[in-house]
Amino acid sequence: MLSQESLARIDVEVAKYPPEQKQSAVMGALRIAQEEKGWLANETIDFVARYLDMAPIAAFEVASFYNMYDIEPVGKHKITVCTNLPCALSGGVHAAEYIKQKLGIDFNETTADGKFTLKEGECMGACGDAPVLLVNNHRMCSWMTPEKIDQMLADLDK
């Protein structure tokens, strides 16, 4: 199901916890699985759960809770816009609307060319920088005015 390399990385996570609490490694293990597979299909979650001796639904709870985990396939670039209250008060929703209109997709949708997926995110702990968005789970972008969004999309499209 997962490559030897991924399994070895998961084992490193598992080793951080007492043996009877293997499931503590679930977040790391799901992250590693997602890196290999691109997203977390039910079979992948099931595999990770069994690997960690935990109930599959418990792993699914984690995978469905955090929006850095993708339980559906995503495009090449995943853009997650924070719409929680502080951001919403400072233009977060407008930023999201702008992206939607620009890409012609709604939240949880992917552009026809498979390049962009738009997600609605929860507070990223950077409310002061609102509007805030996250690119591909790793790059945080602050003060996202329409101009900066245009620039960002153009860079990503290259």
Partner 1 sequence: MLEIEIDGKVIQVNDGSTVMDAATQAGSYVPHFCYHKKLSIAANCRMCLVQVEKAPKPLPACATPVTNGMKVWTHSEAAVKAQKGVMEFLLINHPLDCPICDQGGECQLQDLAVGYGDSSSRYQEEKRVVLNKNLGSLVATDMTRCINCTRCVRFTQEIAGEMELGQAFRGEHAEIMPFVEKTVDSELSGNIIDLCPVGALTSKPFRFSARTWEMSRRKSVSPHDSLGSNLIVQVKHDTVKRVLPLENEAINECWLSDKDRFAYEALGSDERLTKPMIRQGGEWQEVDWQTALEFVANGLKSTVREQGAQSVGALLSPHATLEELHLAQKLMRGLGSENIDSRLRQADFSGDASRSGAPWLGMPIAEVASLNRLLVVGSFLRKDHPLLAQRVRQAAKRGLRVSYVGPNAEDWLLPVRNRALVAPGKMLAELAGVVKALSLAVSKPVSGAIADYVAAVAISPAAQAIADDLAAGSSAAVWLGNLAAQHPQAASLQQLAQEIARLVDGRVGIIGEAANSVGAHVVGAVPGAGGRNVADMLDKPLAAYLVLGAEAEFDFADAVKTRTAFEQAGLVVSLGAFRSVAALDYADAMLPIAPFTETAGTFVNCEGRVQSFYGVVKPLGETRPGWKVLRVLGNLLGLDGFDFAKADEVCVEALGGSPEFVSERLGGLVDVPLSSQPAAEGKGFERVADIPLYFADPLVRRAPSLQKTKDAAAPLARMNAATAAASGVADGQLVRLRSAAGVVSLTARVDEAVADGCVRVAGAHQSTAGLGPLSGVISVEGL
* Binding site residues, partner 1, CB under 8 A: 42, 46, 55-58, 60-61, 64-65, 122
Q: Is 67 in the site for ligand FES (CB under 6 A)?
A: no
SS3 62: helix
Contact yes or no for 3/36 (Cβ under 8 A):
yes
CB of 58 to partner 1, least distance (A): 6
Give the Cα separation of 6 and 25 in Å (integer): 13
Q: Is 25 in the site for ligand FES (CB under 6 A)?
A: no
Decide whether 26 or 133 has the Cβ nearer to ligand FES.
Answer: 133
User: For ligand FES, how many residues bind (rule: CB under 6 A)?
Assistant: 11
Decide whether 53 or 113 has the Cβ nearer to partner 1.
Answer: 53
From ligand FES, partner 1, none, interface partner of 65 (C-beta below 5 to 8 A by class): partner 1
Give the Cα separation of 41 and 108 in Å (integer): 16
Decide whether 63 or 152 has the Cβ nearer to partner 1.
Answer: 63
Please, which of residues 71-90 interact with ligand FES by CB under 6 A?
A: 82, 84, 86-87
Give the Cα separation of 77 and 154 in Å (integer): 12
Of 17, 12, 73, the residue nearest 42 (C-alpha): 73
From ligand FES, partner 1, none, interface partner of 28 (C-beta below 5 to 8 A by class): none
Residue 145 sits at the vertex; the CA angle it makes with 144 and 150, to the nearest 5 degrees, is 90
C-alpha atoms less than 13 angstroms from C-alpha of 118 in its C-beta half-sphere: 21
Give the Cα separation of 28 and 68 in Å (integer): 12
From ligand FES, partner 1, none, interface partner of 132 (C-beta below 5 to 8 A by class): ligand FES
Site residues (CB under 6 A) for ligand FES? 82, 84, 86-87, 92, 123-124, 126-127, 130, 132
